[in-house]
Amino acid sequence: MSVFLDSFLMRAALAGLGVALAAAPLGCFVVWRRMAYFGDATAHASIMGVALALSFSMSIFVGVLAVCLIMATTISTLSGRGYAMDTLLGVIAHSSLAIGLIAVSLIQDVRVDLMSYLFGDILAVNKTDLMVIWGGALLVLVLIWWRWSGLLLSTLNPDLARASGIDPKREQLILTLALSVVVAVAIKVVGVLLIAAMLIIPAASARPFANTPERMVLIAACLGGLAALGGLQASYHFDTPTGPSIVCLAAIFFTASGMTHWIKTRLHA
């Protein structure tokens, strides 16, 4: 097993698969709840977590997770107090990214490769990173599996969820926690600027082919995994940035999905 993981390409492939599996179910809920901007804001805020972790010589995962949770709590507190949600998310997303970049640049005696945090550096994933990524992915999958019925019902009909004894705000908190974990583990693979894409694009691509929520999650996981492996392969052969290559392939899948759905609709019209 140790020899198997000594190949940097194998470690990169496993890291990409781990992120794809974690992002698939969560991305479906992001699409269903129309929370795309929320995912983007959480990802942008994560750069402040990087600065926090480097300043206090702590794990990047812990720093990013802490900041993402604080950001999500802040948004939940401020929403409904005179601010439109999209405006609030826009302000927090861009200002937190700017503050984080400035904070990272001010850190003394620490050499920081900002490009690797902004766009990911999957080829530099080590065995410890793999443990963190797969540990986070398993945590998210267990959390979603445990709360699947409650999350789904509160997504489809919050009033019916309350009548069934399910608190939609609690389910929202669980979803926020899972989203923060995914952002924390994905930052090494695709970077701050592309995390939201890996959440949204595979799920959106799977939507036309799924007639049940469970099937949509499975198809999104497959498409995310194929995008991760195919993007890694393309990056290796064409010497292109790996994170953007993965997202570009996911975008191709989305385009193909949309065209296929359009053709099927025309044929059955």
State the CATH number of the domain containing residue 12.
1.10.3470.10
Q: Is residue 181 part of a domain?
A: yes
Residue 169: which pLDDT band, with cuts at 50, 70 and 90?
A: confident
Q: Is residue 68 part of a domain?
A: yes
Question: Which parts of the chain fold into alpha helices (H)?
Answer: 8-32, 36-55, 60-78, 85-106, 114-119, 127-146, 148-156, 158-163, 168-186, 195-206, 213-238, 242-267
**Is the CB of residue 50 less than 8 Å from the CB of residue 117?**
yes
Q: Is residue 16 part of a domain?
A: yes
22-31, pLDDT tens digit by residue? Answer: 998 899 998 9
Evaluate if residue 6 carries a pLDDT over 70: no
Residue 193: which pLDDT band, with cuts at 50, 70 and 90?
A: confident
Q: Which of 205, 166, 156, 209 is nearest to 29 (CA)?
A: 156
Task: Please tell me the predicted confidence (pLDDT) of residue 80.
Answer: 58
78-112, pLDDT tens digit by residue? Answer: 665 656 667 777 787 888 888 888 888 887 776 77
Residue 51 CA to residue 55 CA, distance in Å, equals 6
Evaluate if residue 159 carries a pLDDT over 80: yes
Q: What is the DSSP letter of 108?
A: T
What the block records as the tokens of 125 is 């994933």
Task: Please tell me the predicted confidence (pLDDT) of residue 76.
Answer: 67
| Cα distances (Å, whole numbers) of residue 144 to 14, 24, 171, 174, 188 | 21, 11, 10, 8, 22
pTM of the complete model = 0.88
Q: Is residue 214 part of a domain?
A: no
State mean pLDDT over 114-140.
87
Q: Is residue 183 part of a domain?
A: yes
Crossing angle of helices 242-267/195-206, nearest 10°? 20
Q: Is residue 135 part of a domain?
A: yes
Q: Is residue 22 part of a domain?
A: yes
SS3 68: helix
CB atoms within 10 A of CB 201: 28
Task: Please tell me the predicted confidence (pLDDT) of residue 217.
Answer: 94
Total domains in the fold of the chain? 1
User: Which residue is associated with the tokens 């409904």?
Assistant: 80
CB atoms within 10 A of CB 117: 25
Task: Please tell me the predicted confidence (pLDDT) of residue 75.
Answer: 72
Give me the domain span that covers residue 29: 4-193
Q: Is residue 14 part of a domain?
A: yes
242-265, pLDDT tens digit by residue? Answer: 889 999 999 999 999 999 988 888
